[in-house]
Amino acid sequence: MKLPWQKTSAKKKQNRRLTQEKPKPRVQFWHWGFNPRLMTQAGMTLLLVVVAYAVWLKLMDPQTLPLQQVKLEATFEKITKEQLHEVVSAQVNGGFFNVDVVAITDAVSALPWVDAVEVRRVWPDALHVTIKEQVALARWRDQALVNVRGELFSPALESFPTGMVELHGPDNSVASMAHQFSVFNQSLEQAGLNMKRIVLSQRRAWELELNDGVTVVLGRGDVEKRLQRFVQFYSPLLAAAENVRRIDMRYTNGFAVQWRV
């Protein structure tokens, strides 16, 4: 037997479930219509694109502002004007706007004695090419030259400057030998001495050969101090320099001299 209040409670629960049910979402329909403002903007954008493309085609025409002059600027010590003019002329085949600056730069940079290249347009009909030539510091074996930054470059052998110091060492020692060359040369100039060859062994031991044929052994450690000591004590040996073959500076409190037989 159900009591009256029990029936009322059941009705309340049923009403509560009905009120908790979520309403169904509305379905929205989009209607596409003609928008005059939007169409006008699209038309203007298309017109601008067409005009820009037409202007670009006109500028890219070689007959538009053709180049009238090419200025070449360099020291022309190892590179001749004729050689440079030939390389640049082969790449200049357009007008002011469409000349291939990158191709000209790459072609000139390929010349062995060229260190750096700058190519720029000069309004309205000129091209300016500036070349910085390599500055050779020393020879690297009989294969290449070393520039002042300790980098190798390989021009033709017949173009190598004469009387340059030769560097002989491991393949990965070019930069360090170029740096040490400058240090050694500064110390030897104080005594009026010049180097002919610098040798760095696989064990990183240094030897110098002077222009008078004397070999100076510096070893692996304290090479700059040992060279300074050599410069200090070499003057008394100048009188007998023709008979000196080798001077070993690796001793702590002196040096050893090997005489010619």
Are the folds of 69-133 and 136-259 the same? Answer: no
Q: Which amino acid is at 95?
A: G
Rg (CA), the chain: 41
- Spell out the alpha helix ranges (H) of 206-251: 223-234
DSSP letter assigned to residue 22: P
Contact indicator for 209, 197 with CB cutoff of 8 Å: yes
> Does 214 or 190 have the greater pLDDT score?
214
Question: CATH fold of 136-259, please?
Answer: Rossmann fold (3.40.50)
Determine the Cα–Cα distance for residues 185 and 133; give it in Å rounded to an integer: 23
> Could you tell me if 220 and 176 are in contact, meaning their C-beta atoms sit under 8 angstroms apart?
no
Q: Residue 219: in which H helix or E strand, if any?
A: strand 215-219
pTM beyond 0.85: no
Task: List, for residues 89-107, the tens digit of each pLDDT value.
Answer: 898 887 878 889 999 999 9
Selected from 3.40.30.10, 3.10.20.310, 3.30.930.10, 3.40.50.300, the CATH number assigned to the domain covering 69-133 reads 3.10.20.310
Query: What is the tens place of the pLDDT at every residue in 181-205?
Result: 999 999 998 888 999 999 999 999 9
CA atoms within 13 A on the CB side of 180: 25
Question: Tens digits of per-residue pLDDT, 218-256?
Answer: 999 899 999 999 998 887 766 666 788 899 999 988 889
- Provide the residue ranges of all domains of the chain, joining segments of one domain with +: 69-133, 136-259
Would you call 128 helix, strand, or coil by DSSP? strand
H helices within 60-173, ranges in order?
Answer: 81-89, 101-109
Using DSSP's 3-state secondary structure scheme, residue 145 falls into strand
- Is 48's pLDDT higher than 70? no
Q: Which has the closest alpha carbon to 114: 103, 99, 129?
A: 129
* Percent of the chain scoring above 90 in pLDDT: 55
